[in-house]
Amino acid sequence: MAGSPDHLFNLRNNFYLGSYQAAINNSDLPNLSPDDAVERDCLVYRSYIAFGSYQLVINEIDSSAATPLQAVKLLALYLSNPHDKESTISSLKEWLADPAIGNNLILRLIAGIIFTHEEDYNEALKHTNAGGTMELHALNVQIFIKMHRSDYAERQLRVMQQIDEDHTLTQLANAWLNLAVGGSKIQEAYLIFQDFSEKYPMTGLILNGKAVCCMHMGNFDEAETLLLEALNKDTGCKGS
């Protein structure tokens, strides 16, 4: 498959950078393989989840959909009803224990996201630690940062850099780690977000990243300007 075009590159990139509306609007892609079509649908539904449109996702994904889509529906169910998440988590654990689907990459990613929301980081890592996709590696970096283990996060980042140093998620993971480490690394994180803002349309994710860097550097006026702009973008990101 080497050298074949990556039809989903722009869609993935929009999603990673928080351009959820662009991801949704530009998802009508011709000539997708069945696997690519499922991945496309997962990204579109996760974009709707980021907007908080949980019910749309729950209504549109039926029980005959592929495992990755069922996993995305589970995330929508989990986020839509925080007071009744036990049944969702119980279904998730059941699927993860099923040898036929338990190792599905999207299912493992969604498990990582849900258990991270639960602040059950050891359980999250059970499903994400083996990696398999750049998103799983990036989630590992986030989990290790939340556990205050920047040494493990750095190891995971190095794995990502070996796979693709220029990948959007590698750059984002690098910025997150720089922010966590602090000190002189804050400027490096700022430059990564600045680079994104020059290459791509501005999103709440990029603006917030720059604003956090500015606050760390004591540039509160610039941080306030960036945060106000992020509010105006109103990306409504509630989970991805």
Give residue-wise pLDDT tens across range 16-38.
Answer: 999 999 999 999 999 999 999 99
The confidence score (pLDDT) of residue 82 equals: 84
Task: List alpha helices for the chain, DSSP H.
Answer: 9-16, 20-25, 34-50, 54-60, 67-80, 86-96, 105-117, 121-128, 134-146, 150-164, 168-181, 185-199, 204-216, 220-233
Domain ranges of the chain: 8-173, 182-239
Q: Does domain 8-173 have CATH number 1.25.40.10?
A: yes
- Interatomic CA distance for residues 169 and 117, integer angstroms: 20
pLDDT above 90 for 126? yes
pLDDT above 50 for 240? no
pLDDT band for position 232 (cuts 50, 70, 90): confident
The confidence score (pLDDT) of residue 139 equals: 98
pLDDT band for position 83 (cuts 50, 70, 90): confident
Whose tokens are 């990755």? That residue is 68
pLDDT above 70 for 216? yes
What is the three-class DSSP state of 148? coil
Percent of the chain at pLDDT > 90 equals 90
The confidence score (pLDDT) of residue 239 equals: 47
Query: In b/e form, how buried is each residue of 196-212, taking b as 16+ CB within 10 angstroms?
Result: bbeebebbbbbbbbbbb
pLDDT above 90 for 235? no
Percent of the chain at pLDDT > 70 equals 95
| Residue range 142-173, pLDDT digits in tens | 999 999 999 999 999 999 999 999 999 999 99
What is the three-class DSSP state of 219? coil
| Residue range 160-208, pLDDT digits in tens | 999 999 999 999 999 999 999 999 999 999 999 999 999 999 999 999 9
The confidence score (pLDDT) of residue 1 equals: 40
Q: What letter would DSSP give residue 82?
A: G
Rounded to two decimals, the pTM is 0.92
The confidence score (pLDDT) of residue 3 equals: 58
